[in-house]
Amino acid sequence: MAAAVANGLKKEQTRPNKCAVISGPTNPMVTPLLTDLYQFTMAYSYWKAGKHDERAVFDLYFRKNPFGGEYTIFAGLEECIKFIAHFKLTEDEIAFIRSSLPPTCEGAFYGYLRGINCSDVEIYSIPEGSVVFPKVPLMRIEGPIAVVQLLETAFVNLINYASLVTTNAARHRFVAGKSKLLLEFGLRRAQGPDGGISASKYCYMGGFDATSNVAAGKLFGIPLRGTHSHAFVSSFLSPDEITDKSLKHHDGSSVCKDFVSLVKTWLNKLKGSRILGGIFSETNQSELAAFTSYGLAFPGSFLALVDTYDVMRSGVPNFCAVALALNDLGYRAVGIRLDSGDLAYQSCEARKFFQTIEKEFGVSGFGKMSITASNDLNEETLDALNKQGHEVDSFGIGTHLVTCYAQPSLGVVFKLVEINNQPRIKLSEDVTKVSIPCKKRCFRLYGKEGYPLVDIMAGENEPPPKIKNEKTYLPLRRLGNDVLNNWSKCGRIT
């Protein structure tokens, strides 16, 4: 696909012959019928009035930053491009439109629908993954008015949630800090299958490190991560259930015939420790059996959910016994997950336990065991944890992240700003809803330090803003030429 910078926005070439390599939309439900009925009734009326080919210009933008915040991350562009690259009504779809419009509609209209594609549509866009602000067009869509209106609903749909959830993910990343591992665990709580797949894609774009969503891993190449559930722990009764107890040494040099006994030996050593023995006595045997089994299954990546019974009196000591047994055989355990209770306090207690083991038993690196936290986390709980002080290395976040619990929609709009080179405006008593007419050129001014100061919109034929004082403003860069410092490389917030 050819791309050229024009008017501050990036032009995406949309002629189908040049788009042969673009695959279709990720979601096969994204078809020309994924629109509101009124786009087809208007298309008929434009066609009947002979207006359908008039050249129209629409701006796609939003009016207010979400989550009470100061910025938005633009996302969803790739899916819009995939949509228009393949935009063509099938015979089946045309028959359905015919059955949905009044029988008085002339048959020739359906011949017109049969012939339309997006070869006369031009899109100008800010790059996906950019930091953007209200009212500045994210995309400008130019083309025959009837065709462009048929794109409106799908475009707004594809940009709205994508930008909202990417922004939500970026905000979670900002609060968590760069050094934390952020895992998206939202599939089960997302708004249906498309919500789940889109959330995984755009949370990754917004700065999450991995997802638990296997389908998203396959579709987009997003790293997959996961732990195990409480059901796994409570499904076991006792270590006697484990029949295959043998485990090969990591270097393949020997085989431990009874890994279960090795784990029990370590648990007894921990109990006998002057410091650790004071924290716990008998641990839960169902949990010990589950952890031992998981350790046998994944000796090189052992991670255990430790809050099924009692974090400090059972989960953490049981985990440590298995981790130490694995360590004897040359394996390094990954860590624990906490999924209830006071996550700040428990993470600090678990860290102390790990550090004591490192000191007392001379197991180097044991104190740095990874701690993952989950359970209804959101920006506020992450902030509260930071303020209290915690020892969490990694956060698993689901419901609040993917459902955008704090704000369910971004309010993206698609407004006519010009037709046949004539400006158009929508008036409203609510001034925030008055549209800004004309094709625009958009500029982002950068300060001396290279940070963006302000976005400016000018008419297409107006001269670019002048830099009055070289010392105040660094070179003017057009929107779309570059993404912002520290924010996005290759469209992904890191």
Ligand X SMILES: O=C(O)c1cccnc1
Which residues are near ligand ATP by CB under 6 A? 340-344, 375-377, 381, 384-385, 388
Tell me the number of residues near ligand X by CB under 6 A.
8
Binder among 119, 153, 370, 375 for ligand PRP (CB under 6 A) = 375
Q: Could you tell which of ligand ATP, ligand X, Mg ion, none binds residue 377, using a CB distance below 5 to 8 A set by kind?
A: ligand ATP
- In DSSP notation, 267-291 reads HHHHHHSTTGGGT-SSPPHHHHHHH
Q: Which does 399 bind (CB under 5 to 8 A by kind): ligand X, Mg ion, ligand PRP, none?
A: ligand PRP
Q: How far is the CB of 142 from ligand PRP (least distance, A)?
A: 42
Find the shortest distance in angstroms from Cβ 73 to ligand PRP.
21
Cβ 66 to ligand X shortest distance, Å: 24
Using the minimum distance from each CB to Mg ion, give the nearer residue, 234 or 375: 375
| Residue 379 in the binding site for ligand PRP (CB under 6 A) | no
CA–CA distance, 240 with 288 (Å, rounded to integer): 11
Work out which of 14, 26, 167, 227 binds ligand X, going by CB under 6 A.
227
Binding partner of residue 239 among Mg ion, ligand PRP, ligand X, none, CB under 5 to 8 Å per kind? none
Check residue 226 for interaction with ligand X (CB under 6 A).
yes
Q: Is 331 in the site for ligand X (CB under 6 A)?
A: no
In the complex, least distance from residue 285 CB atom to ligand PRP, rounded to whole angstroms: 22
Among 25, 206, 239, 398, binds ligand PRP (CB under 6 A): 398
Least Cβ distance, residue 229 to ligand X (angstroms): 7
Find which of ligand ATP, ligand PRP, ligand X, none residue 212 binds, CB within 5 to 8 Å per kind: ligand X
For ligand PRP, the binding residue among 59, 122, 152, 339 (CB under 6 A) is 339
Instruction: Tell me how crowded residue 369 is: count the other CB atoms within 10 A of its CB.
Output: 26
**Cβ closest to ligand ATP, residue 65 vs residue 340:** 340
314 is in the binding site of which of ligand ATP, ligand X, ligand PRP, none (Cβ under 5 to 8 A by kind)?
none
- Label each residue of the chain as H, E or C: CCEEEECCEEEECCCHHHCCCCCCCCCCCCCCCCCCHHHHHHHHHHHHCCCCCCEEEEEEEECCCHHHCCCEECCCHHHHHHHHHCCCCCHHHHHHHHHHCCCCCCCHHHHHHHHCCCCCCEEEECCCCCEECCCCCCEEEEEEHHHHHHHHHHHHHHHHHHHHHHHHHHHHHHHHCCCCEEEECCHHHCCHHHHHHHHHHHHHHCCCCEECCHHHHHHHCCCECCCCCHHHHHCCCCHHHCCCCCEECCCCCCEECCHHHHHHHHHHHHHHCCCHHHCCCCCCHHHHHHHHHHHHHCCCCCEEECCCCCHHHHHHHHHHHHHHHHHHCCCCCCEEEECCCCHHHHHHHHHHHHHHHHHHHCCCCHHHCEEEECCCCCHHHHHHHHHHCCCCCEEEECHHHHCCCCCCCCCEEEEEEEECCEECCCCCCCHHHCCCCCCEEEEEEEECCCCEEEEEEEECCCCCCCCCCCCCECCCEEECCECCCCCEECCEEC
Q: Which is nearer to Mg ion, 293 or 374 (CB)?
A: 374
Q: Candidates 31-39, 171-179, 239-247, 371-379 — which segment interacts with ligand PRP by CB under 6 A? A: 371-379
Report the distance separating Cα 134 and Cα 167, nearest Å. 13
Residue 212 as a binder of ligand X (CB under 6 A): the answer is: yes
Complex with ligand ATP: residue 347 or 356, whichever CB lies closer: 347
The interface partner of residue 419, options being ligand X, ligand PRP, ligand ATP, none and the CB cut-off 5 to 8 Å by kind, is: none
CA–CA gap between residue 197 and residue 187 (Å, rounded): 7
Residue ranges in 357-376 that form contacts with Mg ion under rule CB under 5 A:
375
Q: Which is nearer to ligand X, 136 or 190 (CB)?
A: 190
- The correct pick among 374, 381, 394, 488 for binding ligand PRP (CB under 6 A) is 374
Q: Which residue has the tokens 């002979």?
A: 50
Nearer to Mg ion, 138 or 338 (CB): 338
Q: Which does 189 bind (CB under 5 to 8 A by kind): ligand ATP, ligand PRP, ligand X, none?
A: ligand PRP
- By CB under 6 A, name the binding residues for ligand X: 185, 212, 226-227, 337, 374, 396, 398
- By CB under 5 A, name the binding residues for Mg ion: 375
- By CB under 6 A, name the binding residues for ligand PRP: 185, 188-189, 339, 374-377, 396-399
